[in-house]
Every structure is written in structure tokens, then in C-alpha cells.
Amino acid sequence: MPSQKTQVAIIGSGPSGLTLAQLLDGAGVESVVLERRSRDYVQGRVRAGVIEQGTVEILRRAGVAARLEREGLKHHGVEIAAGERRYRIDFAAQSASLTVYGQTELTKDLMEARDASGVPPIFEVDEVVLENIEGDRPRVRYLRHGEPHTLDCDFIAGCDGYHGVSRRSIPASVLTTHERVYPFGWLGVLADVPPVSPELVYASHERGFALCSMRSATRSRCYLQCDLDTDLAKWSDERFWDELASRLPAELAARVVRAPVLEKSVAPLRSFVAEPLRYGRLFLAGDAAHIVPPTGAKGLNLAVRDVDQLAAALAAHYAERRDELLDAYSAAALRRIWRAERFSAWLTSVLHCFPGRTSFDRGMQLAELDHLVSSAAARAAFVETYTGL
Ligand code: FAD
Ligand code: PHB
């Protein structure tokens, strides 16, 4: 049976697993990334788009920010619409900015960096099992093309997303989970049409929430709040654009360009936190540990911050034989994670149409938005959290 050894076994080659491998490489720590899917599948997944400045700095340290800094779109404000009303929230007063750059592109950059390091992820692994995580020498067993393999290591980083095996390897008696499942999802499309506005538009409307985002000056990424049982076959491109236009203020609706859609998918919305993030020699990071509804654009940013903290802790273990950072990882990361959960759940509740919403509930939503745009203190607090200052 083929067997291999490494210092850190990383499960999952999403943004958290790949960034962790890069950061560990920079600190002289060896790792091997195991991924269930194929390279093409991982690179083709259309997901996040908004990158905080702090995340850019971590990616720069990881040696993967050059193209992002060249091609990413720097944003200095965001728009919130409610019915016909439009408000712009300016980041400039706080010298804040965000970079719009697709997760697909970031994944490509990370994969190329892993290839250049000479240790690319091992794709298409199956039946991954984590063994002896309570002991000193954990082992990962997996199948590849039907053949059994083992990977011996000092630590395991569970970066395998919400449906991965890592979190499920922690005994139920140890793990506590906290969850809110929303009664709607997001129907997202990608299309080669110019964005309706140079900045992102979050629209709260009687018909439901809509978001106009982008990937470039000629490519839009748009979302509609939708039912959880949405049948994509019933959403022709025409229907999507009509519904989007109906949820935007007239001035923006007039700028919706109807073109064939390149990708269409539905994502359910969920808030989720697992704790603790450590069990023996297993550490959870990214979506394996927590999920935020995409409204706040925090998921990928949280994932990168988690692995930055974990990489520093592992580096201290190897370089200085100091384990305080490893011991502190779970509590320190959870504090940051809960703050992002708070913001994401709040923004979701203010912008979406919940089943059974009363006119009073709508009045409260509009008052929240009114407070946000008319109070300098509320705006400053929003910018601080949304941009991740
Ligand atoms: P993932 O990206 O889920 O990667 C986990 C990897 O592990 C996957 O490749 C998976 O195949 C692999 N895996 C799973 N099980 C196993 C196994 N048993 N063995 C081996 N490998 C396994 N975030 C933002 O910050 N900004 C945004 O604007 C934003 N927009 C979003 C829009 C949408 C529609 C969605 C769905 C998400 C959005 N997010 C956003 C969230 C962001 O995409 C995720 O938080 C991010 O992908 C998390 O990265 P990760 O590496 O932790 O997990
Ligand atoms: C995206 O561009 O995909 C995007 C932007 C902002 C969000 C979520 C997703 O809040």
C-alpha cells in the first residue's frame, strides 16, 4: 500500500486548504493537500468575489496576490437600494477598500503556486478517514482510483468545507454546533454583460433581495433571493433578467443588459458555527468550521484569516517548539468568527424578505437601513465590519 509522510496533512483544496499550504511552505513547514474532486471541478466553481484588504495582505504574504492586485477591481463604496431609494456608503472616510476578484481566479493563482512549489494537491481522493487524531501520530487513509493510500503526519488541517469529513471526525460528545437555516436561497448567474453600476448594489425589495456584483467591467455576477426548491429549468435567462430588473430602482433596472447566462446555480443560506475548532491534532478552518450567509461577503475572508492564524501557530510549533498559539487557536478564531456571523446574519435579516413578513417587519427593515445611511456612527461601524478593517 503506497504510504507517505508529511508534517501537516491538509484535507480540501478550496481557498483555505491551498492558502494554508502556501503559508506553511513560506514558513518551511511541509504539507500535503488531499482533494476529493478533480482539479477542473475545483477551479470551475463560481463562488465568492469580494476580498477584504486584510485578506489581500495575507495572500500577498503567501506569494499569490500579484494578479489579484493587477486585475482585481478596487471598490471604495457600496450601494444599498430599497424600493426606489438608493444610498451609497462611502469607504473613503475610513481609508477602506475592497477588491472584487473571483474565487475562481484566486483558486487558479493558488493552484499555480502549489504546482510551482513542486507539491500540487492530490486530486480525486475518496473515502478519506482520519485516524489517531487524539494521539501523537495521526494518519489519513484514502483511496485513489480504487487503490488504498496512507499519509502519516504530525497534524491534520480540516479545510474540507461544510460537507467534509474532518468536522464529522470529532466525537459528537466533544463538538457543539450552532446553526440557523434560512427559508430561502440565492439564485446566482454569471454573464458577459457590463455591471448595472460600477459598485456593488444590494437591493432590498418587496419581491425579495437582489445583488448586482461583477467580475470585470464586462462580466456581471448577479443574485436573486429564491425559494429553496427553485427548479433551475424554470428559470430561463429572460426570466432571470426580468426578475432582477423588477427588484432594482428604475434607473438601475434600465441598465440591465439581457444576455445569455454562462452559469446558473442555487445556494442555500445558512449560519453555522462548530466549536471547538481543535480536537487533539486536528484543526478545523474555513467552511468546515463555520458558514455565513453570503450577504456579508465574509466566507472566503474568514477562511483565509483562519488559516493565517493556524499557519502562524504551526510555524511556532516547528520553529520554536512553542504551542501556545496552537492552544489558543480555537478560542481566538471563534471570537473573530462570531463577529462575522453577527454581521452576516444581521445584514441578511435586514435585506431579505422572510416568509410571513408583516408590514411592521418591513417598517423595521427600512428603519434599520435609514439608520445605517443617516447616522455617521452607524455608517462607520458598517464600513469597519463590511470591509474587514
Ligand atoms: P471550500 O471552498 O468548500 O473547499 C473545501 C474543499 O474540500 C472542496 O474543494 C471540497 O471538494 C473538498 N472536500 C470536501 N470533502 C472532502 C473530503 N472528504 N476529502 C477531501 N477533500 C474534500 N465569501 C466571501 O468572502 N465573499 C463573497 O463574496 C462570497 N460570496 C459567495 C457566494 C456564494 C454563492 C457562495 C456559495 C459562497 C460565497 N462565499 C463568499 C463563501 C466562500 O465561497 C466560502 O466561504 C469559501 O469557499 C470557503 O473556502 P474553504 O476552502 O473553507 O471551503
Ligand atoms: C459575488 O460577487 O459573488 C458576491 C459579492 C457580494 C456578496 C456575495 C457575493 O455579498
* Residues with active-site annotation: 75, 202, 294, 298, 386
Measured CA to CA, the distance from residue 263 to residue 188 in angstroms comes to 8
Which H or E element spans position 115?
Answer: helix 103-117
Ligand 1 centroid – CA 36 distance (Å): 13
Over range 120-124, report the average pLDDT.
98
Q: Which of 32, 300, 301, 337 to mutate to test the pocket of ligand 1 (most atoms within 8 A of CB)?
A: 300
Q: Is 337 in the pocket of ligand 2 (CB under 6 A)?
A: no
Over range 134-143, report the average pLDDT.
96
pTM exceeds 0.75, yes or no: yes
- With 90 as the cut, is the pLDDT of residue 389 above it? no
User: What's the confidence (pLDDT) of residue 326?
Assistant: 98
User: What's the confidence (pLDDT) of residue 263?
Assistant: 95
Measured CA to CA, the distance from residue 241 to residue 222 in angstroms comes to 9
- With 90 as the cut, is the pLDDT of residue 173 above it? yes
| Ligand 1 atom at minimal distance to the Cα of residue 285 | 52
Half-sphere exposure of 248 (CA within 13 A, CB side): 26
User: What's the confidence (pLDDT) of residue 105?
Assistant: 96
The strand pairing partners of 89, in sequence order, are 78
Q: Is 267 in the pocket of ligand 1 (CB under 6 A)?
A: yes
- With 90 as the cut, is the pLDDT of residue 76 above it? yes
- Per-residue pLDDT reduced to its tens digit, 18-75: 999 999 999 999 999 999 999 999 999 888 899 999 999 999 999 999 999 999 999 9
Q: Is 195 in the pocket of ligand 2 (CB under 6 A)?
A: no
Q: Which of 52, 223, 264, 302 to mutate to test the pocket of ligand 2 (most atoms within 8 A of CB)?
A: 223
Q: Is 158 in the pocket of ligand 2 (CB under 6 A)?
A: no
SS3 201: strand
User: What's the confidence (pLDDT) of residue 40?
Assistant: 96
Over range 288-315, report the average pLDDT.
98
- Per-residue pLDDT reduced to its tens digit, 86-119: 999 999 989 999 999 999 999 999 999 999 999 9
Higher pLDDT, 44 or 347: 347
Which H or E element spans position 179?
Answer: strand 176-191
User: What's the confidence (pLDDT) of residue 46?
Assistant: 87
- With 90 as the cut, is the pLDDT of residue 165 above it? yes
Ligand 1 centroid – CA 287 distance (Å): 6
| Ligand 2 atom at minimal distance to the Cα of residue 103 | 3
- With 90 as the cut, is the pLDDT of residue 284 above it? yes
Measured CA to CA, the distance from residue 129 to residue 300 in angstroms comes to 25
User: What's the confidence (pLDDT) of residue 1?
Assistant: 83
Measured CA to CA, the distance from residue 43 to residue 53 in angstroms comes to 23
User: What's the confidence (pLDDT) of residue 380?
Assistant: 96
Rg of the chain in Å (alpha carbons)? 21
Over range 331-342, report the average pLDDT.
98
Q: Is 103 in the pocket of ligand 1 (CB under 6 A)?
A: yes
Strand order across the 278-279 sheet: 31-34, 8-11, 155-158, 282-284, 278-279
Do residues 302 and 336 make contact, with C-beta atoms less than 8 angstroms apart? yes
Q: Whose CA is nearest to atom 31 of ligand 1?
A: 48
Ligand 1 centroid – CA 17 distance (Å): 10
Measured CA to CA, the distance from residue 102 to residue 220 in angstroms comes to 11
Ligand 1 centroid – CA 103 distance (Å): 9
Over range 191-211, report the average pLDDT.
97
Residue closest to 188 by CA, chosen among 298, 266, 100, 253: 266
Q: DSSP E strands: which ranges in 257-303? A: 261-275, 278-279, 282-284, 290-291
Q: Whose CA is nearest to atom 4 of ligand 2?
A: 49
Ligand 1 centroid – CA 118 distance (Å): 24
User: What's the confidence (pLDDT) of residue 196?
Assistant: 98
Average pLDDT, the chain: 97
Q: Phi and psi dihedrals of 83, rounded to 5?
A: 60, -125
